[in-house]
């Protein structure tokens, strides 16, 4: 069975600081992995995705994620956050069908 | 470029009243289509998906139904709304073929049932 866990419901960081949002999945094979961002009262926007190959994938707006198979993780990172990055971030895993984590609300303090 | 529209943007409806939400995808032929429900501040729950006109699969039963009357249109409806139907409804599409696991979302419809 597939599942996705985002252990942090809310993360607060200062502007300019680095960021890591955690995501762990459960699936026996190698699934397709995604990070989406949702700004208030909007739909989800795709940040990045991993299908195969280089385990570090680059996304939009300076985001990247690393697939670590041994740890079943796909953490999202950014070297320096901006206040406009404040949003809810969803990790998703797709094999038979797509499952989303519960989301992590990111608050960037000025 | 593909565009996805959802209508209406928001609705306030009475319990027991009917509902119809729409979704249209332009610029993509024969996409896979999806409906999701999101409780306020909550996770996404996939409700329905469709891979072709006239064919809809239910993922979760929430006293809702869906139809795909045209290749580019996906409709979510119910004859009788419940309080629990309140939330944010998102339509999404994915291409057929090699990238079919990547879903692209519409702007959503906010529904408040009173």
Sign of CA dihedral B40, B9, A63, A70: positive
Whether A59 has its CB under 8 Å from any CB of chain B: the answer is: no
| Chain B positions in Cβ-Cβ contact with residue A44 (cut-off 8 Å) | 44, 90, 92, 105
C-alpha to C-alpha distance for B78 and B17, rounded to whole angstroms: 8
Q: What is the distance between the terminal CA atoms of chain A, rounded to a whole angstrom?
A: 41
Q: Do B110 and A45 touch (CB under 8 A)?
A: no
pLDDT of residue B100: 82
pLDDT tens string A42-85: 999 999 999 989 999 999 999 999 999 999 999 999 999 999 99
C-alpha to C-alpha distance for A101 and B44, rounded to whole angstroms: 8
Domains with residue ranges and CATH for chain B: 3-113 (2.60.40.10)
pLDDT tens string A7-31: 999 999 999 999 999 999 998 887 8
For an interface test with B, the pick among A6, A37, A93, A98 (most B C-beta atoms closer than 10 Å) comes out as A98
Q: Do A100 and B44 touch (CB under 8 A)?
A: yes
Asked if residues B16 and B64 have their Cβ atoms less than 8 Å apart, the reply is no
Nearest-Cα distance to chain A for B15, in Å, is: 23
Whether A60 has its CB under 8 Å from any CB of chain B: the answer is: no
Whether A101 has its CB under 8 Å from any CB of chain B: the answer is: yes
pLDDT of residue B61: 76
For residue B94, give the chain A residue with the closest CA.
Answer: A98
Domains with residue ranges and CATH for chain A: 3-109 (2.60.40.10)
Average pLDDT score over residue span B21-34: 94
Helix (H, G, I), strand (E, B) or coil at B64: coil
């Amino acid at each position: 069975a597939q599942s996705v866990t985002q252990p942090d419901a809310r993360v607060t960081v200062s502007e300019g600081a680095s960021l890591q949002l955690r995501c762990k999945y459960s699936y026996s094979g190698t699934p397709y992995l995604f990070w989406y961002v949702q700004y208030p009262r909007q739909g989800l926007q795709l940040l990045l995705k991993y299908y195969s190959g280089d385990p570090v994938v680059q996304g939009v707006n300076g985001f990247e994620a690393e697939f670590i198979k041994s740890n079943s993780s796909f953490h999202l990172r950014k070297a320096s956050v901006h206040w406009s990055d404040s949003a809810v971030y969803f990790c998703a895993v797709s094999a038979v069908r797509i499952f989303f984590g519960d989301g992590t609300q990111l608050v960037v303090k000025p | 470029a593909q565009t996805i529209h959802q209508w209406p943007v928001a609705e306030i409806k009475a319990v027991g009243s009917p509902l119809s939400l729409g979704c249209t995808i332009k610029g993509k032929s024969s996409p896979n289509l999806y409906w999701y429900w999101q409780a306020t501040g909550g996770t996404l729950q996939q409700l329905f998906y469709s891979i072709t006109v006239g064919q809809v699969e239910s993922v979760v039963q929430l006293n809702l139904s869906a139809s795909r009357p045209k290749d580019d249109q996906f409709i979510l409806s119910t004859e009788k709304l419940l309080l629990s139907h309140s939330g944010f409804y998102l339509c999404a599409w994915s291409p057929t073929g090699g990238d079919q696991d990547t879903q692209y979302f519409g702007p959503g419809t906010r529904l408040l049932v009173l």
